[in-house]
Amino acid sequence: MPLARATHLTRRGLLAAGGALGLGAALAACGDDQGKDSGTGAKGGKSGPWSFKDDRGTTVKLDKVPANIVAFTGVGAALYDYGIQVKGVFGPTRTTAGKPDVQAGDMDISKVTVLGNAWGQFSIEKYASLAPDVLITTMFDDAGTLWYVPEESKKKIAQLAPGVGISVYDRRLTQPLQRMWDLAKSLGADMKAAKATDAKKRFEAAAARLRAAAKAKPGLKVMAGSASDQLFYVSGTNLSVDLEYFKALGVNFVEPPESAKKQGGGWYESLSWENVDKYRADIIMMDDRSSAIQPADITKATWKKLPAVKAGQVIPRSPEPILSYDKCVPLLTRLAEALEKAEKVG
């Protein structure tokens, strides 16, 4: 996983060491069916056969459309935007102040069971009590590792319900957005509802605006960063769904060499705060997750001396975007606005 997950990457061996989740006897047979809604689903108030082919190529088949859904927090937030309420979540859900984490989106977190709020936390007892029909999360590698499902307990978790993985690894944002759309539809969401269709149109308009802004100012350099107490992480565009998409729209990014990203699993380069000025940037996008230090809280003198910081050309970035069109519109809009307003300072 990119950026501020450095400590997490170490604990999971950069996510590359973990294999695909062992689905065990609880998982229905795999087949060649594409992700689809085989019954009328929740929107019709009926039950019927359900199947969905995830991004591991695994087809989960159930006798009825899942009702008891447990998901990674960001996935639950995306499904919520499409009218699907999950029963339980795992991953960053509440801040230390008790407020919804940025990855919880618009979900009412008081109405979901939180199985774990941090890396490595996943209450199997709570999970079992929900009688889950399916577990849904993202994947940040090509080995099929289900994000935030602890390696040491993944077999026990898999025995309780089949898992569905949506990949956000080495592809552009539009692909997992469509996959989440397909998944929500299969679960009974009304994808013809104005809320869904309008959000998709707004996303397309925002993408066009960003493309135009990037074309108008091709000389502006954008750096994607993330802050921890000891290190500053500079992400390359390769592997990250948001940055790959922004680059495809014409945004000019700082690109650390592959050799420099080796310790970050190919995601990012780690810099000491003394070397935070290694790259020239006109705009800095900073990791907005609760695991990262936010720009207002960075006290390092070297940070404050950066031209983009002095010019006020620092904006948030969501390395783990909520995969609904509604939540991705601001990601495009704020970068477009930054490019439109920014001056060359790097």
pLDDT band at 303 (very low <50, low <70, confident <90, very high): very high
What are 181-206's pLDDT values in tens digits?
A: 999 999 999 999 999 999 999 999 99
What are 234-255's pLDDT values in tens digits?
A: 999 999 999 999 999 999 999 9
Task: Return the residue matching tokens 């993985």.
Answer: 165
Tokens of 259: 């050799």
The arithmetic mean of pLDDT across residues 158-164, rounded, is 98
CA distance 146 to 160: 15
In 3D, which of 265, 241, 261, 262 has the Cα closest to residue 18?
265
Q: Is the pLDDT of residue 307 over 50?
A: yes
Average pLDDT, rounded, for the chain:
89
**252-261: Cβ within 8 A, 24+ apart:** 252/214, 252/218, 252/219, 252/220, 252/221, 252/222, 253/221, 253/222, 253/223, 253/224, 254/221, 254/222, 254/223, 254/224, 254/279, 254/280, 254/281, 261/236
Sign, CA torsion 143/173/73/6: positive
Q: Is the pLDDT of residue 2 over 70?
A: no
In 3D, which of 289, 291, 345 has the Cα closest to residue 314?
345
What are 89-137's pLDDT values in tens digits?
A: 999 999 999 999 999 999 999 999 999 999 999 999 999 999 999 999 9
Provide the β-strand partners of residue 165: 137
Q: Is the pLDDT of residue 151 over 50?
A: yes
